[in-house]
Structure 1
Amino acid sequence: MIVATRIGHTLMEPTEILPVIAIVSLVTVEFGGHALLRFITTDHEKLGEFRERFFRAGHAHAGVLLLLSLVYLLYLPRAGFSAGLEWLAGGVLLAGVLAQSGGFFLHLAVGAQGARSSGTMVTRIGGLLLAVALITLAVGLIGAA
């Protein structure tokens, strides 16, 4: 049985819609790069070294991990998973991207230098979700070989 999302009259598979979400999310990373550049070039002191460091980390992780997700989603159909498992694996991956990078931004908002915060916890959870998604894909690819 195929699990798909209805958009208009067309049924879309997870590996058709999840890459669109990742690509659209890259636009937010581009906006973040613009905002970071503005902070660095016009109001460097306002942001401060601590916040700038976490802004850069969140921004960089978001961009790199979204690009990773596009490669992941190209390989996902080769694992031979059901559509439901593809939705789950792809969703876990994208949730991991959001949590890992978003945790840096959360920490810059609520955290303090040298101390843990809800942001560092979210970042760690994101890393765990990414690992689960990547191992799931690797196992599927090995099984399909």
Structure 2
Amino acid sequence: MDAMTTHPWTTILLGALLLSLITVESGGWFLTRVGRGAIPANTLQKNFFRAGHAHAAVLLMLSLVVIPLLDTVALPLGVDLVARFGIPTAALLMPAGFFLSVLGREPARPGRAFALLWIGATSLTLGLAAAGVGLIGGGVAQLP
């Protein structure tokens, strides 16, 4: 496959990520209900719901930008997999950590599910590092 061809698996993954933005859209509707008081939530919950929603949207959009770039270089399989799936995995785990850690009535502090945020942050860091280093190395390898 030449450097400008998109792999079919990339196209499928990008389609799945676009569809997953529908969940972010429904999360926005949920936030409007929280904001209007239709769903009771304390300040911690409101803040965490907003943070979870924002992280989901931003990380999914970042995934849509980074993943097609990976088809422009030849990466070792392990690096490619971490680069390709690290950011979308973070887009699942980080919002889950925000939302799930404040479930219940009037939580005073985040619960154990908050660990998902840090696991997601690790996934994001590894994905960004693999993609960045891989793209730089792949670009250098393509120099005449």
TM-score by length of 2: 0.80
- Choose between structure 1 and 2: higher strand proportion: 1
**What's the RMSD between the two structures over aligned residues?**
2.2
CA distance in 2, matches of 1:106, 1:97: 14
CA distance in 1, matches of 2:85, 2:130: 12
Q: Which residue is 2:8 aligned to?
A: 12
In 1, are the aligned partners of 2:44 and 2:102 still within 8 Å (CA)? yes
Percent identity of equivalent pairs: 34
TM-score by length of 1: 0.79
Q: Which residue is 2:21 aligned to?
A: 26
For residue 47 of structure 1, report the CA deviation from its aligned partner: 1.7
Q: Which residue is 1:62 aligned to?
A: 56
For residue 62 of structure 1, report the CA deviation from its aligned partner: 0.4
Unaligned runs of 5+ in 2: 1-6
Unaligned runs of 5+ in 1: 1-10
CA distance in 2, matches of 1:19, 1:84: 20
Query: Structure 1: which 4+ aligned runs deviate by more than 4 Å?
Result: 82-85
**1:63-142 maps to which residues of 2 (within 5 A)?**
63-81=57-75, 86-109=80-103, 112-113=107-108, 115=109, 117-142=111-136
- Choose between structure 1 and 2: higher helix proportion: 1
For residue 87 of structure 1, report the CA deviation from its aligned partner: 4.2
